[in-house]
Structure 1
Amino acid sequence: MAACVNLEDALNRGEHTDTDGPGLFCELMFVQDSLQKSMGPLNILNYLKKRSTIYPNDVITYIVLLTIPVTVASAERSFLKFKLLKSYLCSTMTQERLNGLATLALENDVLEKINYEDMIEDFISRNTRHMLLFGRT
C-alpha cells in the first residue's frame, strides 16, 4: 500500500495525478489472482489493456514503469565482464592487453559484424607484397 501511495505522489502534477494509490493497491490485489506466473511484462500490459475499464490504474502504472529506461544494468554487465576477464587472465597480461580485451568484450556486437575473411585476405596480400619487395620467401 505504501509503495502505491508513493507512486501516486511521484506521478502527481499539482492537483492532477495519473493514478490513485489506494485504488491501484486494490486493483493489484485483484489482478494478481488472474495472471499466470509465466506472463512477461508486455503480456501483462496487453492483458490489462483489454480490461482497462476494470484496471485503469494498473494500465497507467504498467505503461509508466515499462517506459522508464534501465541504464544501470548495462554498466553492471560491463563491470562484471571486466571482473571476469581480470580474474581469469590478470596474472599473465599487461594493462594495455587487459584494456583491449575489456573493450572487445564490451563491444561484442560490433565484433560479430566484422568479416574476418576480408581481413585475412588483406593481411595475406600485404604480407605477400612485403615478401616480394624484400626478396624473402
Structure 2
Amino acid sequence: IDLCKWIRLNDLQCVYPNVDIALRMYTCTPAANCSAKRSFSCLKRVKNYLRLTISEERLNYLAILCIEKTILQDLDINFVIDEFSRRKARRKVLK
C-alpha cells in the first residue's frame, strides 16, 4: 500500500503503469474475497433457517439485508417506516 501511495504521490504511474495496476489489484483482492466468502456464509445460514417456511423472493431479500448489514445499520428506521406506510397506504386522500 505504501509503494502504491508513493507511486501516486510522485506521479510515476505513467512511468510504471503495469506496476501501478498490479499494486492496485493486489490491494483490492483480499477485501473482495473476504466479502464474498462472508456473503455466501451468511446466505447459507439464512437458507438453512428459513428454507421451508419462506418464499424464494423473500429469502433473497433477507439474504441481501443480512449481507449488507453495515448499510442497513446506517439507515434511519423512522424514515423507512414512514416511506413504507406512504407507499402502502390504502386510504384515499380527501380534498
TM-score, normalization: structure 2?
Answer: 0.56
- Return 5+ residue gaps in structure 1 as ranges: 1-65
Aligned length: 67
Distance change >3 Å, CA 68–CA 113, structure 1 → 2: closer
Matched to 1:112, the amino acid is Q
* 1:69 aligned residue (26, 29, 43): 29
Residue 92 of structure 1 aligns to a residue whose secondary structure is coil
User: Within 1, Cα distance between the matches of 2:80 and 2:27?
Assistant: 41
* 1:104 aligned residue (36, 46, 65): 65
Say yes or no: does 1:120 pair with 2:81: yes
User: Within 2, Cα distance between the matches of 1:108 and 1:74?
Assistant: 12
* 2:48 aligned residue (87, 90, 94): 87
**1:1-137 correspondence runs (5 A):** 67=27, 69-70=29-30, 71-122=32-83, 123=85, 127=89, 130=91, 133=94
Q: After alignment, is 108-117 or 67-76 more displaced?
A: 67-76
Q: How many percent identity over aligned positions?
A: 35
1:44-68: CA deviations, max 9, x gaps?
A: xxxxxxxxxxxxxxxxxxxxxx957
Distance change >3 Å, CA 119–CA 68, structure 1 → 2: closer
1:97-126: CA deviations, max 9, x gaps?
A: 1111111111111111211112333426x7
Q: Which has the higher contact order (CA 8 A, sep 6+)?
A: 2
1:53-107: CA deviations, max 9, x gaps?
A: xxxxxxxxxxxxx957313211111110000000011010111111111111111
Moved over 3 A (4+): 66-69
- Return 5+ residue gaps in structure 2 as ranges: 1-25
